[in-house]
Amino acid sequence: MSVNTLPTPQKPWKTTNRQRFSTALLIVAAALISLVIIGSTGLNGKLGFLSTLFITSSLLIFIQQWRLRDKAAAKDSLLSSFALLGMIMTVIPIISIVSTVVIKGYKGIHIGMFFNDMSLNSVNDPIKQGGLLHALVGTIIMVGGALIISFPIGVLTALYLTEIRGKLSRPIKFLVQAMSGVPSIVAGLFILSSLVYPVTKSLSGMMGSLALSILMIPTIARTSEEMLRLIPSELREAGVALGGTQWRTVAGVVLPAAKSGLVTAIILGMARIIGETAPLLLVSGGGDSINLNPTSGAMGSLPYYIWKAFLTGGTEEAFARAWGGLLVLLAFIFILFGLARFISGRRVS
Amino acid sequence: MATEYGIAESSNNKKIEEKKMQTQVTPSSLATVAGNREVRVPGSEMLGTGLETRGVHAWFGSKHVLSDVSLDFAAGTVTALIGPSGCGKSTFLRTLNRMHEFIPTAALAGQVLLDGKDIYAPGIDVTKIRLNVGMVFQKPNPFPSMTIGQNVLSGLKLAQIKRSNTDELLESCLERAGLWGEVKDRLNEHGGALSGGQQQRLCIARSLAVAPQVLLMDEPCSALDPGSTFRIEQTISELAKTMTIVIVTHNMQQAARVSDYTAFFLSDGGPGAMIEVAPTSKIFSSPVDKRTEDYVTGRFG
């Protein structure tokens, strides 16, 4: 038996503390230089400082890399800096929006709001009175209704584009793309003029669902189409070669393989419409009391609740109420996304 | 060039080693391998009378890719289709179970007769054809949303075949594909968890479940290591007792080992055509056509 001489696992490719220290030194130096530049020129404010800091630190790291290694490494470091900048520019607005909503909204949150509606209260009442149950219920009913209408239509459209590949594929694809650019107010006006005025003659949650569907179908159709295109054609061939008809192959092989992609399509579709205010104002109005019947009567929604509190109030309470509503809407969207990730993540790859 | 085929087969497996001993690849040594297989006389115990093609041409769009192939596959035989890439052998294979038409621009002329009936005749149910003429593809393609067991039985579901004793069928299909021993305790795992060679045998088991009389294999081992290749070749030899097999392969050692007949395809820039078909031992020892000899001795391709 030989002596156990197992080497300890190491990661020689990792950045060493020494390298980290020198980079940190460079950034501190860049910060000092930026302060000097800010002090001696007309630039000022946080934004001025941050942009100067970015430029000087990128330059310093560029020079350092050039001296330590070569031109290629220096260019590499410059590209890394820009990638970092891009990342920061994406993340900062998101963090800023979420943190603003959380900070301003949590004052408007109390447990009672999930059990009460606004039928007996005005937006200017103390925040502990009334609630947004009616808006939450209305949003769930209308978005759920829109989903029930849009999901089959959207997926069938995607199947036409990817599986049947008929002569109309190109024009339909173009139409679907064009439709995803339809302004939401147009969807509302369309339902208003084609159904509400001539047929039902009254506002209702179902009309809201229909208007939202117009916005949701293109998103679901396009996302499902992309997801179905990711399914390798070998799987379709295998299904057909086993004696399946095209429809059974689609139902038994293609759609199950695309399951997580279809869940993504649903989530993106819901995210597209959940904050829509304009079409709902037109066709489902906005109630202040709970309405569980989507076929008749005005129906409230979270965006309407927020809109009303911001616009018709004016007091501290009304603003707190609006921010609270925003926080609930945001949380609702996050929960949806989390749920979708959870469902689609259970797939075995 | 020719010796590459010998090297490519390197494996610890004794049987392959033995075969290599016999075959320090020259045309005549390939013929020796082929000669070790007895050429089966079309068996009367077989279901059906096999598969025949009459003047098959194939096109993609306006490109003529396959010209005038007439070839008989007697029931219970293994036929290898060999030839350089782009010679139309895979296209020809796909005309045999009507997978050719899966490509939108595809067109065809000629007849493919299964038990004497043209599978392209009007009124023929294409799904029935594909049930009788199964297919194994180049890349293992188990259905990702299904478990191993569900994969094997997926053909029943897709073709809406009712069967009561599916457990028995599951075991016998996996057994015949040489996979039962390795997966019998993990039938509920997903097919993607298997190795490439196991996935390919799973795909073979899947095509066996619907009881085809002909099995088409499109380079079934080209993505596999030598050990898995050997297992699949064993499987092919077993299956040949009960069905007709047509296999496209780039590996001439493989053609020599597994097939009774070999057909050589070639394209001279125009559409691919069948140059020669003969018992495998003859193709590798005394081919009639000079081009066949050049190919099997590795002078080109």
Angle at CA of residue A50, ends A49 and A53, nearest 5°:
85
Q: Does residue A280 contact residue A188 with C-beta atoms inside 8 Å?
A: yes
Structure token pair of residue A130: 């009334």
Partners of residue A257 in chain B, C-beta under 8 Å: 143-145
CB contact under 8 A, A242 and B203: no
- The answer for B 230-249 residues in CB contact with A (under 8 A) is none
> How far, in Å, CA of B228 to CA of B201, rounded?
9
Question: How near does any CA of chain B get to the CA of A169, in Å?
Answer: 14
DSSP class of B190: B
Residue A254's Cα: distance from chain center in Å? 26
pLDDT in tens, chain B (301 residues): 444 444 434 444 444 444 444 444 455 556 555 555 544 444 434 455 689 999 999 999 999 999 999 999 998 899 999 999 889 999 999 999 999 998 889 999 999 999 889 999 999 999 999 999 999 999 999 999 899 999 999 999 999 888 888 899 999 999 989 899 999 999 999 988 899 999 999 999 999 999 999 999 999 998 888 988 998 999 999 899 889 999 999 989 999 999 999 999 999 888 999 999 999 999 999 999 999 999 998 877 5
CB contact under 8 A, A348 and B134: no
- The residues, any chain, with a CB within 8 Å of residue A58's CB and separated by 6 or more, are A77, A78, A81, A82
Mean pLDDT of the region A55-68 = 89
Residue of chain B with shortest Cα separation from A260: B145
Partners of residue B141 in chain A, C-beta under 8 Å: 232, 234-235, 237-238
Partners of residue B139 in chain A, C-beta under 8 Å: 234
Residue of chain A with shortest Cα separation from B128: A243
Q: Is B139 exposed, middle or buried (0-12, 13-18, 19+ CB in 10 A)?
A: middle
Q: Which of B218, B213, B215 lies closest to B82 in space, CA to CA? A: B218
Q: Which of A235, A242, A256 sits opposite B159 (nearest CB)?
A: A242
B155 touches chain A (CB under 8 A): yes
B143 touches chain A (CB under 8 A): yes
Residue of chain A with shortest Cα separation from B159: A244
A162 touches chain B (CB under 8 A): no
Residue of chain A with shortest Cα separation from B208: A242
Residue of chain A with shortest Cα separation from B152: A242
H/E element, B266: strand B261-266
Structure token pair of residue B30: 């390939």
Residue of chain B with shortest Cα separation from A242: B155
Question: How near does any CA of chain B get to the CA of A343, in Å?
Answer: 14
Angle subtended by helix axes B27-36 and B14-22, to nearest 10: 130
> How far, in Å, CA of A96 to CA of A99, rounded?
5
DSSP class of A69: S
- The residues, any chain, with a CB within 8 Å of residue B74's CB and separated by 6 or more, are B40, B42, B50, B244
Q: Which of B99, B128, B193 sits opposite A241 (nearest CB)?
A: B99
Q: Does residue A132 contact residue A113 with C-beta atoms inside 8 Å?
A: yes
Q: Is the pLDDT reported for residue A347 higher than 60?
A: no
Q: Is the pLDDT reported for residue A326 higher than 70?
A: yes
> How far, in Å, CA of A154 to CA of A221, rounded?
4
Q: Which of A243, A248, A253 sits opposite B130 (nearest CB)?
A: A243
DSSP class of B269: S
B137 touches chain A (CB under 8 A): yes
CB contact under 8 A, B159 and A165: no
CB contact under 8 A, A253 and B157: no
Mean pLDDT of the region A148-157 = 96
Q: How far apart are the first and last CA of chain A?
A: 43
Task: Label the pairing between strands B133-136 and B51-60.
Answer: unpaired
Structure token pair of residue A342: 């959870």
| Per-residue pLDDT, B301 | 57
Partners of residue A347 in chain B, C-beta under 8 Å: 145
pTM, to two decimals: 0.78
> How far, in Å, CA of B135 to CA of A236, rounded?
13
| Per-residue pLDDT, A47 | 81
CB contact under 8 A, A244 and B192: no
| Per-residue pLDDT, B291 | 93
Lowest mean pLDDT among A88-92, A117-121, B115-119: A117-121
Residue of chain A with shortest Cα separation from B216: A241
Instruction: State pLDDT tens for residues B158-188.
Output: 998 888 888 999 999 999 898 999 999 999 9
Domains of chain A by start residue, with CATH: 20-100 (no CATH), 133-345 (1.10.3720.10)
CB contact under 8 A, B158 and A242: yes
Residue of chain A with shortest Cα separation from B139: A234
Q: Is the pLDDT reported for residue A167 higher than 80?
A: yes
| Per-residue pLDDT, B32 | 58
Partners of residue B143 in chain A, C-beta under 8 Å: 235, 238-239, 253, 256-257
| Per-residue pLDDT, B9 | 40
CB contact under 8 A, B144 and A348: yes
Q: Which of B27, B91, B104 lies closest to B273 in space, CA to CA? A: B91
Partners of residue B203 in chain A, C-beta under 8 Å: 238
Longest CA–CA separation in chain A, Å: 93
Strand partners, A305: none
DSSP A287-312: -SS----TTSB----HHHHHHHHHHH
SS3 label, residue B176: helix
> How far, in Å, CA of A233 to CA of A220, rounded?
22
Strand partners, B52: B72, B113
At position A269, the amino acid (one-letter code) is G
B90 touches chain A (CB under 8 A): no
Question: How near does any CA of chain B get to the CA of A301, in Å?
Answer: 38
> How far, in Å, CA of A200 to CA of A204, rounded?
9
CB contact under 8 A, B154 and A253: yes
Q: Which of B300, B136, B292, B158 lies closest to B220 in space, CA to CA? A: B136
| Per-residue pLDDT, A2 | 58
Instruction: State pLDDT tens for residues A200-223.
Output: 888 999 999 999 999 999 999 999
Disruptive mutation site among A231, A240, A242 for chain B (greatest number of B CBs within 10 Å): A242
- The answer for B 30-69 residues in CB contact with A (under 8 A) is none
Q: How far apart are the first and last CA of chain B?
A: 10
SS3 label, residue B215: strand
Structure token pair of residue B242: 């009960």
Q: Is A105 exposed, middle or buried (0-12, 13-18, 19+ CB in 10 A)?
A: buried
ipTM of the complex: 0.80
Q: Which of A242, A249, A252 sits opposite B210 (nearest CB)?
A: A242
Residue of chain A with shortest Cα separation from B206: A242
Length of chain A: 349
CB contact under 8 A, B192 and A348: yes
Instruction: State pLDDT tens for residues A224-245.
Output: 999 999 999 999 999 999 999 9
A166 touches chain B (CB under 8 A): no
Number of inter-chain CB pairs under 8 A, A vs B: 83
Partners of residue B146 in chain A, C-beta under 8 Å: 256
Partners of residue A242 in chain B, C-beta under 8 Å: 130-131, 134, 154-155, 158-159, 206-207, 210
